[in-house]
Chain A
Amino acid sequence: MLEELTAGFPILSCILFLPVVGAAVLWLFDEEDMVRTSALTIALVELALSVFVLLRFVPESAAMQFTERVRWIPALGISYHLAVDGISVLFVGLTAFLTVLVVVYSWDTIRHQVKLYMMCLLALETTTMGVFVSLDLILFFVFWELMLIPSYFLIKLWGGGAERHYAALKFVLYTLLGSVFMLVGIALLNINYHEWASLHHTDQTYSFDLLELLTVPIPVSQQLVIFWLMFLGFAFKAPVFPFHTWLPDALLEGPIGMAVVLAGLKLGTFGFIRFSIPLLPDASKSETVVMVVVVLGLCAILYGAWMALVQVDFRRLLAYSSVSHLGFVVVGLFALNYQGLQGSLLTMINLGFSTAGLFFIAGFLYSRQQTTQLAAFGGMAKQVPLLATFFLIIGLASIGLPGTNGFVGEFLILLGAFKAKWWFGAVAVLGVIFGAAYFLWYYERSMFGPLGAAVKGTMSDLQPREKIIAVSLSVMILWIGLYPSPFLRIMNGSIQALVDRVSQETKVSLEGNGFERRY
C-alpha cells in the first residue's frame, strides 16, 4: 500500500528542498522558541524522510534508486538528475541525522540571531544533501558551491574565536580555489563527451550527466588532466594533506555546529568515490596517481596524528585527527580494491558519528569552560562522569577500537591497503598506534588526574539535550561496530560495481558491461 503511494513520489526532491523551504518558513517567525521548535521539526521530518529512503533502499544492488530526472538546460546537457545508490544513500541519512543533533545542540548554546543561524543551518543541509544526491555534475557543482555561503556565515557570525573572519574567508577562498579547478575538470569531461558524441552522431551532444559521461571513453592523457583538476577540488575540500591548513582554523574559530558538519560530512572524499574514480578509472589506477595520492594519504595519517599529539586545544586536535582519518580514507580509496573502497566509504560514514561526536563533546566542554584549551580542564571525570564516559566511548570509536564503528572501517581500509601494496598498509598501521596515543594522552590530561586549577568546583553533568546527542551517537557507534550488516549490505552492490569498473580492462564501451549494469 505504502509502496503504491510512494511510487513515483519525488522523495529525493522533497529531501533536498524541505530544509531550504523550511528555512524560508522560519523567516516568518519572530519568537526564538518558535524558531527553534520549527527548525527541529523540519530537521526531524527530514530525518524521517531519509530513514524512509534508507528503509526502502534495495540493498546489495548497484542500481541508482529513487531516480528523478528532468532535463534542465538541454542545450548544454545539464539535467536535474537526482538518485541515490549504495555510495550516497548513507550520507543522506547521516546528513539528516547530524542536522537534527546540531539543532538540538544549538538549542541553548546559540543565543543571538537564532533565526538566522537556524536558517543557515537548514540551507547548509539542503546544499549538503544536494551534493550527495546529484548525479549531474553541474547540479553537483551548484550545491558544492552554494554550500560555501551558509558555511561562511556560520563561521563568521557565530564563531567563537577572535580570528573567525580570517578563518571564514580562508575556508571559502581555499574551497573556491579548489572548486574552480574542479569546474574546469567538469568542463573537460563535457568537452570530451561532446567530441565523442559528435563523432558518433548521437542525439545529445553535450552532457554533464554522470551516467552518460560514464559511457564514453576518455583517452588516458585526458583522464589524467581531468583527474588532477578534480583532485584539487576534492583535496582542498576534504582536506587532504598538505591542503589542510584551513581546517584547524575553521574548526577552531567556527561554531560547534558548523564544525560538526565540516568534520562529520566528508564531502571531498565523497567526490573521489562518486566522481573521480568511476569517471576516470584509468587515471585513478595509473601508477603515478596511486603513488602520489596514497603517499599523500600516508603522510596525512602520520602527520595528522603527530600534530594531534602536541595540540593543547581540543578542537585543533580534532582537526588534525580529521586530517589523519582522511588520510586513511584516501589510502583506502586509492587502494582501489573492494575492501579499500568499502572501508573508506564506511569510514566516511563513521567519521560522521565519531569525529562529529567528538566535536559535540568539544561543544559540551566549551559550554562548561568557554574554551577547549587543555589548561581549562583536568580531572573532570569526577565532576562530569557521564560526559567523561561518552567522551571515552566516542573517542575510542575515533581511534578504531574493535566493537566500535571505527574499527570496521579502519580494518577494511588497512586490509585493502595491504592488498594493494603491503607497505601502504604497513605505514598506515602506524597511524593506529598514534591514534591511540594522541587521543588517550589528551583524555588522560583533561579527564583524569587531580582536579584542574581552572575547573570550577561545581560543574553540571550532561543536560538532557546533551544526553540525547551523546546517547544517539553512541548507539550508532556501537551498532555499526557490532552489527554493521545493514550498512554493508547497502553499500556492497555499488562497491562491487565500482570495483568492476576500476578493474575491468575493457569497460568503456557504450553497451552493457561493467558499470553500466546498474542502469
Chain B
Amino acid sequence: MGEYALLYILFAPFAGALALIFVSNRQPLLVRSIAVSAAGVSLLASLYLFYAYDPVKGGFQFVQKVEWSRQLGISLHLGVDGIGTPLVLASAILLFAGIFVSWHIKDRTKEFYIWLLILAAATIGVFMSLDLFFLYFFYEMSVIPMYLLLGMWGSHTKKYLEMTDPEGLKRRDSVGFILNFGSNSKEYAAMKLVLFLSAFAVVALMGILLIYKYAGLNTFDILVLREQANLMNIPVLGTTLDKIIWVLVFFGFASIAPLWPLHSWSPVGHAAAPAATSMLHAGVLMKLGHFSIMRVAFEILPETTRELMPIAAVLCMFSIIYGGFVAFYAKDTKYVIGYSSSSHMGYVFLGMAALNYISLSGAVIYMFAHAMATGMLFAMAGWVYDQTHSRDIPSLGGLSNKMPFISACFVVACMASIGMPGTVNFIAEIMIIIGSWNKYPLQVIVAMLGIVLTLAYLFKMMRGLFYGPMSQKYSHAHDAISTVDRLPLLVMISISIGFGIFPMHLYDVVRSGVDPLVARITRVVPVAETGEGVEMRRSQATTPENSSAPLASHKSISYTPQVSREGRE
C-alpha cells in the first residue's frame, strides 16, 4: 500500500467530505467522527509518508500518474520531494487539529466539516502536484472553501485595528467606507480574500499558460518542463519572456504567501475566519505561495530565479518589519497573529532569496515550523474567543486564573513563534541566518530585530489576555479540560518541540529536496555523502555571485596560520 500513500492523503478528506453529504446534521457525533477519521487517515498516511520518504534517494517519490487529457498534455501527476513532504505532513496535522479545535461548532456542523476537509485536501493537492494544471486547480480549489467558511462560520471583526464600537459607525458607504473600514464584516473579509487571491491567481495562471505555450512541449508536466523547456531569451516588450513569466508567477503566488505589499487580504481573512480555518489558512494556505514559487519558478526558470530573486530579498524586509509593526499596534488577537504570520513569512522569503542549501532548507523548515506555531496561536485565540466572545485585547485580561492550561500553552506557542531554542522554529531560524548572512547581512539583522519585535507584541498580547485584572463578565470562561480540547494543542506542541529537539529526519528530507533545486539554480554541484545526513560540500567551482566575501578572503590567504597572520599584519 505504501506507494499509494499520496492518494490516501489526498483523497481521504475528499472521501470524508463526500460521506458527510449523506449524513444528517442531527447526528453531530457521527459527523465529527467521520471528519476525524478522514483527517486521521490522512494524518497517519502523511506520517507514514514522512518517515517512508527516503532522503538518501531523494527526488520525487510515491509518484502517481494518471493521464487526464492527452491533447492538452494534462495528467494527474502526483509526487512529493523533500520540500513537499513536510508541508503535506503539516497540512495533515493542522487538519486533524483543526477538526478538534472546531469540535464545538453547533451551526451547520456538517457543512463546516465538508468545507474544511475540502480546503485541506485542496491544499495538500498543491503540495503533491507535479502538473502545472493540477497545481493551479488545487490552488484555486483551496480558495473557494475559504470563502464559504469565512462567510458562514466566521465572525465580524468589528472595526479594523482599534476596536471601537462598530455599530456607532454609520458612514458605511462611499469615501467613508473606503477610509474607515467600518464594514469588516465576515462577508467583506471573505469577499476581499477571494477576490484578491483569485485576481492574483489569474496573474499566476497567465505565467503558467505562457510557460505552456512557449515551451511548446504540449505538456503541463513540471518534470518534463524543467528538463526540456527553453524559455530563455525570447525578447518581449523590451525584456525577455522568461523574466515576464517569472514575475507573473512570482507575484501571482507571492500574493498568497503573502509578500509585502500584497498582504492586506490575509489579516482580515484570518480575523474573520473561525479558528480551524485560520489555522489552516495561516498554517498551510499561505505556504502554497512559497511552495508554488519554488515548484514553478525555481524549477522551470532557475536562471531567471537567480537573477530576479533579490526582489524578494528586498521585499522581505518590509514584510518582516511592517507586519511586525502593525501586529504591535493591533488590538485584536487575531489581527496580531495574522500580521505576525505575514511578518514571519518574510523569513521564508529571505531564506528563499539567499538561494543556498542551508538557507533554502531553513525556509522550508520554517514553513513547517510556522505552521505549528501559528496553528497553536490561532487555536488558542479561538478558544479565548469562544469563551469570552471577545478578541479585543484591552478588554480582556487575567484569564490565566481561569484557563491555566491555555495560558501555559500560549507561552509555549509564543516561544515557538519567536524561535525559542528547543522548538523547530529555532532550527529553521538559525539555518536561515547561516545561509543568508553572506549574501544578505542587512536582511539578517532586520530579521533578528523582527524576532525581538515578535517577542514584544506576543508578550504584549499574552499579558493583555492572561494577566492583569480580569473583568467580571468573563467569570464563566473555563479552561480546555477535556481531551478533545487539549488534544490539538498537545499534538502541535509535541510536534513543534519534538522536531525542535530531533530535527534530523526533517532536515534530511528537506535537504534531499532542496539540494537538487539549489544545484539547478546556482549551478553548484552538491556532493552527496553517505552516512549520517546528507551533507553537502561546496564545490570549488563556485559561481561568482555565490562566492561570499569571507570565503574570498579565505582564499586570498594561505591557511597556514603563521603565514596568514603575517599576511594580515
Measured CB to CB, the residues of A under 8 A from B are 71, 73-76, 138, 141-146, 149, 152, 156-157, 165, 169, 172-173, 176-177, 180-181, 183-184, 186-188, 190-192, 194-196, 198-201, 205-206, 217, 219-222, 505-509
Near A by CB (< 8 A), chain B positions 418-445 give 418, 420-422, 426-427, 429-431, 433-434, 437-438, 444-445
**Contact at A75–B561, with CB atoms within 8 Å?**
no
Listed by A's residue number, 14 A-B pairs whose Cβ atoms lie within 8 Å are A74-B504, A141-B421, A143-B421, A165-B468, A172-B455, A172-B459, A173-B456, A183-B433, A184-B433, A186-B430, A187-B437, A194-B434, A205-B537, A222-B550
Q: A76-B507, A205-B535 are in contact. Are A219 and B451 (CB under 8 A)?
A: no
Residue of A whose beta carbon sits closest to that of B432 = A187
Cβ-neighbour of B467 out of A156, A205, A220 (below 8 A): A156
Interface centre among A184, A192, A220 (most CB of B within 10 A): A184
A473 to chain B, nearest CB (A): 33
Q: Indicate if B534 sits at the interface (CB-CB under 8 A).
A: yes
A198 to chain B, nearest CB (A): 5
Cα-based distance from A67 to B179 in the complex (angstroms): 64
A506 proximity list for chain B (CB < 8 A): 561-562, 565
Q: Indicate if B37 sits at the interface (CB-CB under 8 A).
A: no
Cβ-neighbour of A176 out of B422, B444, B452, B564 (below 8 A): B452
Cβ-neighbour of B557 out of A138, A149, A205, A219 (below 8 A): A219
Q: Indicate if B9 sits at the interface (CB-CB under 8 A).
A: no
Encode B455-466 as 1/0 by CB contact (under 8 A) with A.
110011001000
Known contacts A73-B427, A194-B434, A199-B555; 18 additional CB pairs below 8 A are A76-B430, A157-B467, A173-B459, A176-B451, A176-B452, A180-B449, A183-B429, A183-B430, A184-B448, A186-B430, A191-B550, A196-B554, A205-B537, A217-B559, A219-B554, A219-B564, A506-B561, A509-B561
Cα-based distance from A206 to B555 in the complex (angstroms): 19
Q: Indicate if B541 sits at the interface (CB-CB under 8 A).
A: no
Q: Indicate if B232 sits at the interface (CB-CB under 8 A).
A: no
A352 to chain B, nearest CB (A): 25
B422 proximity list for chain A (CB < 8 A): 142, 146
Interface range on chain B (Cβ under 8 Å from partner): 35 or more
Residue of A whose beta carbon sits closest to that of B441 = A184
A200 proximity list for chain B (CB < 8 A): 559
**Contact at A74–B421, with CB atoms within 8 Å?**
no
Q: A165-B467, A181-B448, A508-B561 are in contact. Are A191 and B434 (CB under 8 A)?
A: yes
**Contact at B451–A188, with CB atoms within 8 Å?**
no
A180 proximity list for chain B (CB < 8 A): 448-449, 451-452
**Contact at A219–B452, with CB atoms within 8 Å?**
no
B427 proximity list for chain A (CB < 8 A): 73, 76
Interface centre among A71, A187, A192, A505 (most CB of B within 10 A): A187
A177 proximity list for chain B (CB < 8 A): 449, 452
Cα-based distance from A457 to B418 in the complex (angstroms): 52
Cα-based distance from A73 to B533 in the complex (angstroms): 9
A187 proximity list for chain B (CB < 8 A): 430, 433-434, 437
Cα-based distance from A184 to B443 in the complex (angstroms): 12
Encode B539-562 as 1/0 by CB contact (under 8 A) with A.
000000000101101110101111
A118 to chain B, nearest CB (A): 16
A73 proximity list for chain B (CB < 8 A): 427, 503-504, 507
A186 proximity list for chain B (CB < 8 A): 430
**Contact at A146–B421, with CB atoms within 8 Å?**
yes
A198 proximity list for chain B (CB < 8 A): 537-538
Q: A172-B455, A184-B433, A505-B565 are in contact. Are A75 and B420 (CB under 8 A)?
A: no
A138 proximity list for chain B (CB < 8 A): 421, 430
Cα-based distance from A507 to B554 in the complex (angstroms): 18
A405 to chain B, nearest CB (A): 34
